[in-house]
Amino acid sequence: MEYINKYVEENKDRFLEELFGLIRIPSISSIAAHKPDMYKAAEYWKKTLLEAGADKAEVFETAGNPVTYGEKIIDPALPTVLVYGHMDVMPVDPIDLWDTPPFEPQVRDGKIYARGADDDKGQGMMHAKAFELMVKTNTLPCNVKFMIEGEEEVGSPNLGLWCEQNKEMLKADIILVSDTSMLAADIPSITTGLRGLAYWQVEVTGPNRDLHSGIFGGAVANPINVLCSMIDQMVDADGKITIPGFYDTVQEVSSEERALLAKAPFNEEKYKKALGVEELKGEKGFTTSEHTGIRPSFDVCGIWGGYTGEGAKTVLPSKAFAKISSRLVPDQDHEKIAVLFKEHFESIAPKSVKVEVTPLHGGPAYVCPIDIPAYQAAEKAYTDTFGKRPVPVRSGGSIPIISTFEKVLGIKSVLMGFGLESDAIHSPNENYPLEQFYKGIKTIPLFYKYFAEMSK
């Protein structure tokens, strides 16, 4: 690893500045006003890949946000790695909870603080810099392609079609992704499973206008009260989701695999302390790690209605809204689950209100086999860098497009994440430790080395 360490040490300040340049672009895919920023980010990625050593790089249009593609083919007979990442980030609200402006990256206490620091600009930039390292040191052992999209945070609605249209260009032996996390800074892990996702917006309408809560309160149904009551019926006292048919295709994990998953280090007291909660809650009969790894979940992601401004306003609102998501496990069809929830939720609405459920986006779960050369190459790479063998874990998160890659391109994905639970992705004060950023850059070239050797 000597040449790797030397190159990173000599260039680490520049690596950081180039990451900061990307972070400063507020590429929020869910807000239409940021559409121009998506193109700025796409062009930034194009420039980054070309400067790193790509033979060519191009910004492609989709029906939504752009995709940046780049490649370096050193020998068509050699294996090809397709790197996937995303240039878009989550919204920054609530902005007042950020200690520093979200798109002005700062390093404090050894961590980069900014939106996208980890998810996925920091982790994506690791691949660009690892690629540069291999090109500049003449150690690149196989072909490399990059696919950086602009809609991951909104469910990748257009990338599947783009992949279908560009199957020949995207041909590869494995897809390499860094958009997940490790168990801890000193406990490397490889994500072997991702949960799927279904996501809806709910609108509940009561009276035809906002009403005076004194004159009408108690006589007219309050849409917010009704919405809360309906949501409360979705999960029972044992943590089971009550939607009819919801569990029909849930893949039950064997006792043997549950025993293997239980070997992953987990301290429940530290977990609660880190989150600032006194008690955990989940489906009866399963552990906390199993709740997030192998079981589905149901959550309200946002709820609003009525008066939320400063001071008091005695109003009985006309409408109430919620954004609701469900994380899914292998064999659950996200499109079927989307229909099941819509039909059930609308059916339990009292006649005092009208309820409309709109599916927003979703995707299936994904499981990576641990006996393929790419997984074993990743395992060896982590072992070299961190000094210990990585633990295979199933993540509670979702990257819906990963399953689409396998379906459309016929290629498996290996999830080499370097983030940490404390990175606060999707939250105010998102951060990424400098040590993880640099260790990622050092680990990735080793993956290429071992993958090329194992593919012979």
- Write the CA distances from 43 to 14, 35, 140, 208, integer angstroms: 19, 13, 24, 48
Tell me which of 309, 337, 363 is where a domain ends: 363
For residue 260, is it within any domain?
no
For residue 371, is it within any domain?
yes
Q: Are residues 23 and 124 in the same domain?
A: yes
Tens-digit pLDDT profile for residues 301-330 = 999 999 999 999 999 999 999 999 999 999
For residue 359, is it within any domain?
yes
For residue 268, is it within any domain?
no
Question: pLDDT at position 253, please?
Answer: 87
The 3-state DSSP class for residue 379 equals helix
Please give the Cα distance from 123 to 416 (Å, whole number).
10
For residue 327, what is the enclosing H or E element? strand 319-328
Please give the Cα distance from 319 to 303 (Å, whole number).
11
For residue 107, is it within any domain?
yes
For each of the chain's 456 residues, which pLDDT tens digit applies? 899 999 999 999 999 999 999 999 999 999 999 999 999 999 999 999 999 999 999 999 999 999 999 999 999 999 999 999 999 999 999 999 999 999 999 999 999 999 999 999 999 999 999 999 999 999 999 999 999 999 999 999 999 999 999 999 999 999 999 999 999 999 999 999 999 999 999 999 999 999 999 999 999 999 999 999 999 999 999 999 999 999 999 988 889 888 878 888 899 999 999 999 999 999 999 999 999 999 999 999 999 999 999 999 999 999 999 999 999 999 999 999 999 999 999 999 999 999 999 999 999 999 998 999 999 999 999 999 999 999 999 999 989 899 999 999 999 999 999 999 999 999 999 999 999 999 999 999 999 999 999 998
Question: pLDDT at position 175, please?
Answer: 98
Count of domains forming the chain: 2
Q: Are residues 144 and 36 in the same domain?
A: yes
Give the range of the structural domain holding residue 396, as residue numbers without chain letter.
1-194+365-455
Tell me which of 344, 363, 382 is where a domain ends: 363
**Residue type present at position 325:** S
For residue 352, is it within any domain?
yes
The 3-state DSSP class for residue 278 equals coil
For residue 230, what is the enclosing H or E element? helix 223-232
Please give the Cα distance from 218 to 341 (Å, whole number).
29
Q: Are residues 215 and 352 in the same domain?
A: yes
Query: What is the DSSP annotation of 25-78?
Result: S--BTTSGGGHHHHHHHHHHHHHHHHHHT-SEEEEEP-SSS-EEEEEE-S-TTS
Displacement of CA 113 from its chain's centroid (Å): 18
Q: Are residues 325 and 438 in the same domain?
A: no
Q: Are residues 83 and 8 in the same domain?
A: yes
Q: Are residues 72 and 218 in the same domain?
A: no
Q: Are residues 81 and 203 in the same domain?
A: no
Q: Are residues 342 and 398 in the same domain?
A: no
CATH of the domain at 328: 3.30.70.360
Q: Are residues 138 and 237 in the same domain?
A: no
Q: Are residues 203 and 72 in the same domain?
A: no
For residue 255, is it within any domain?
no
For residue 285, is it within any domain?
no
Q: Are residues 301 and 211 in the same domain?
A: yes
Q: Which residues contact 382 (CB under 8 A, 6 or more apart)?
A: 188, 190, 389, 390, 416, 443
CATH of the domain at 102: 3.40.630.10
Tell me which of 328, 343, 363 is where a domain ends: 363
Q: Are residues 415 and 348 in the same domain?
A: no
pTM of the model: 0.86
Tens-digit pLDDT profile for residues 182-195 = 999 999 999 999 99
Please give the Cα distance from 88 to 45 (Å, whole number).
12
